[in-house]
């Protein structure tokens, strides 16, 4: 069965970076894009962007350019998202999801907390 297993919760200091992972199983990894979505209580769900898992090509929501960097390791069927120059506004649950849209399978989410 299709599964997207995300890494564990992160506690980070303002100005630092975090890199969260999304390991896919149950399907051919390079046949589907991986997208990333941010969820907060205040802003709701926000689309960050996607990565073409075959070519490594990326597309970002303008709002997240410079904030998020998407990469992929085909050998381990894992997608990554690095968030840089963290501020408290980056505190959220981050989901990976399969495909460009609609998102047919989602990871369980990673809670990122930015606090000094």
- Kindly provide the residue ranges of all beta strands, DSSP E only, lying in 52-103, ordered along the sequence: 58-60, 68-73, 78-83, 92-98
Nearer to other proteins, 65 or 74 (CB): 65
Nearer to other proteins, 1 or 75 (CB): 1
- Give the interface with other proteins as residue ranges (CB under 8 A): 44-47, 61-63, 95, 100-109
Nearest distance from C-beta of residue 95 to other proteins, angstroms: 6
Nearest distance from C-beta of residue 66 to other proteins, angstroms: 15
Nearer to other proteins, 16 or 59 (CB): 59
The sign of the dihedral angle between the CA atoms of 25, 99, 80, 71 is: positive
Nearest distance from C-beta of residue 42 to other proteins, angstroms: 10
């Amino acid at each position: 069965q299709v599964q997207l297993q995300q890494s564990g919760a992160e506690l980070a200091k303002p100005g630092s970076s975090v890199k969260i992972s999304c390991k896919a199983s149950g399907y051919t990894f390079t046949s589907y894009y991986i997208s990333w979505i941010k969820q907060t209580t205040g802003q709701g769900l926000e689309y960050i962007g996607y990565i073409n898992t075959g070519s490594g090509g990326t597309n970002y929501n303008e709002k997240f350019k410079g904030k998020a960097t998407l990469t992929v390791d085909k050998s381990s069927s894992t997608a990554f998202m690095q968030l840089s120059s963290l501020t408290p506004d980056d505190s959220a649950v981050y989901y990976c999801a399969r495909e460009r849209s609609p998102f047919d399978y989602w990871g369980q989410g990673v809670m990122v907390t930015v606090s000094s």
